[in-house]
Amino acid sequence: MDNSKTIVTHEKVESNNKSGINYTTVVEQFGCQLIDNELISKVKQVVKKDTLHPVLENNIFFAHRDFDALMDKCLHEKKNNFYIYTGRGPSSTNLHLGHMIPFMTAKYLQDIFDVPVVIQITDDEKYYQTNSNIPFEQYRQYAFENIKDIIACGFNPKKTYIFLNSIQNTHFSHNSVKIQKRIKLQHFKNTFGFTDDDNIGKVSFPSYQMAPSFASSFPILLHPPTDDNPQLDSFYNPISSFFGQIINPDAHKEYLKQLSNMKCLIIAAVDQDPYFRTLRDIAPKINEPKPIVIYSRFIGSLQGKDKKMSASVNNSSIFLTDTSKQVKKKINGAFSGGQETLELHRQLGGNPDVDVATQYIEFFSGDTEMVAKVKEDFRSGQLLSGELKKKCIEIVNNILDEHRQNREKITNELISEFMSIRSLI
């Protein structure tokens, strides 16, 4: 009998099953679709590639909402008229490898689809959620450090906008107002588990995470003036665009219609579904398209896949600032799916499904074929746990080295460029 239990909410992820969270249950519970081979083939058709990165091929992104319809649209229109949206809640200066997955994926998808990316840094969110007395200003410091790590993933500065929630633009706030009006407190209590003891910041926050899912939150970035829409020129100034519906209602309507043709593809870990599930219900009521989402699994804690990595538990994760020695020590001490003795391992084989090092190779090697071989050899007993961990250490240290080098080159000018309002098209 399977009595495993999985809990996934926007603040907590837990499972009492050693092979980790039961993702099929999660999909059933949330009502999204699994990413299957047919969908992966469609993506290959759109981007004209034979193989994709393991985050897609190995089902690390395992679930979606309307991603298939988006791919059909791209094939039909022969252009990729969408932007990518992802984000990060800065809860410390120190990111761990699990935090990198949405950003690595967003950068990869930006490259293969050639589309803009917007990245939200929710300093407000983490301030509301934390019970300690950390001052609000401290979250800005976290944000600054996190932004450097995000840029170091290699985003294209011409097509990427990073913004901080505590410095908001008018269009973004405008959409948050419309969203807030449509949500009942009762719904949020059910969906997010808010209680009467929660601060009201927590309750208002979700609308700010939802608003970037509409292109109309970023008109200047996503719909700059072109020769065929000169009549809309007056709207690209932040003030006149805001009052556009009063100055010239017909042109404004047309402008909004064009903006809504640009779809949003959200990249997130599956615990973020409560936000986007709610928003998809509201969108038609405020004349906006439903956002499209793809969801990833979690990278397990070093102590076992049944727990999510946590930035606050030091030994549960590998941090971007860890030295190669620390990485070696942590991976060597990680939960293993190998047998107790060498003899038993050769005889019975290991279990890659619970093995933590195998999972890291799966997430970070970038090599779909190699991952399959490692799993097969470990299962058959041919590959020993020590050998597998050695491979894992090498892969992780290479990634961290490259990341450090990229991060060192980031200047304040570059950060300003990423955070400035300009055309991304």
**Shortest distance (Å) from residue 334 CB to ligand TRP:** 24
359 part of the interface to ligand TRP, by CB under 6 A: no
Asked if 268 interacts with ligand TRP (CB under 6 A), we say yes
* Residue, CB closest to ligand TRP: 87
Size, binding site for ligand TRP by CB under 6 A: 12
DSSP 8-state assignment for residue 291: P
In our burial notation (b when 16+ CB lie closer than 10 A, e otherwise), range 358-370 reads bbbbbbbbebbee
Contact assessment for residue 286 and residue 259, using Cβ atoms and an 8 Å cutoff: no
- x/- letters, 208..247, toward ligand TRP (CB under 6 A): -x--------------------------------------
Nearer to ligand TRP, 13 or 232 (CB): 13
List helix spans (H) across 152-199: 170-182, 185-192
How many other C-beta atoms can be found within 10 angstroms of the C-beta atom of residue 250?
Answer: 9
Q: Is there binding between residue 116 and ligand TRP (CB under 6 A)?
A: no
Q: Does 266 bind ligand TRP (CB under 6 A)?
A: yes
Site string for ligand TRP, 66-95 (x = CB under 6 A): -------------------xxxxx------
Burial 115-141 (b: 16+ CB within 10 A, else e): bbbbbbbbbbbbbbbeeeeeeeebbbe
124 part of the interface to ligand TRP, by CB under 6 A: no
Residues facing residue 166 across a β-bridge = none
Q: Which is nearer to ligand TRP, 95 or 374 (CB)?
A: 95
x/- map, 176-215, ligand TRP, by CB under 6 A: ---------------------------------x------
Of 130 and 326, nearer to ligand TRP (C-beta) is 130
Q: Is residue 120 a contact point for ligand TRP (CB under 6 A)?
A: yes
Q: Which is nearer to ligand TRP, 67 or 85 (CB)?
A: 85
Residue placing its CB nearer to ligand TRP in the complex, 117 or 354? 117
- The span of 59-67, 118-126, 156-164, 406-414 binding ligand TRP (CB under 6 A) equals 118-126
Which pair of tokens denotes residue 416?
């300003």
- Closer Cβ to ligand TRP, 267 or 327, answer by number: 267
Please select the residue that binds ligand TRP; options are 58, 110, 122, 296, rule is CB under 6 A. Answer: 122
Task: Compute the least distance from the CB of residue 85 to ligand TRP, in Å.
Answer: 6
Candidate residues 175, 207, 272, 296; the one interacting with ligand TRP per rule CB under 6 A: 272
* Under rule CB under 6 A, residue 350 binds ligand TRP: no
Residue type present at position 127: Y
Of these, 57, 66, 123, 125, which contacts ligand TRP (CB under 6 A)?
125
| Residues near ligand TRP, by CB under 6 A | 85-89, 120, 122, 125, 209, 266, 268, 272
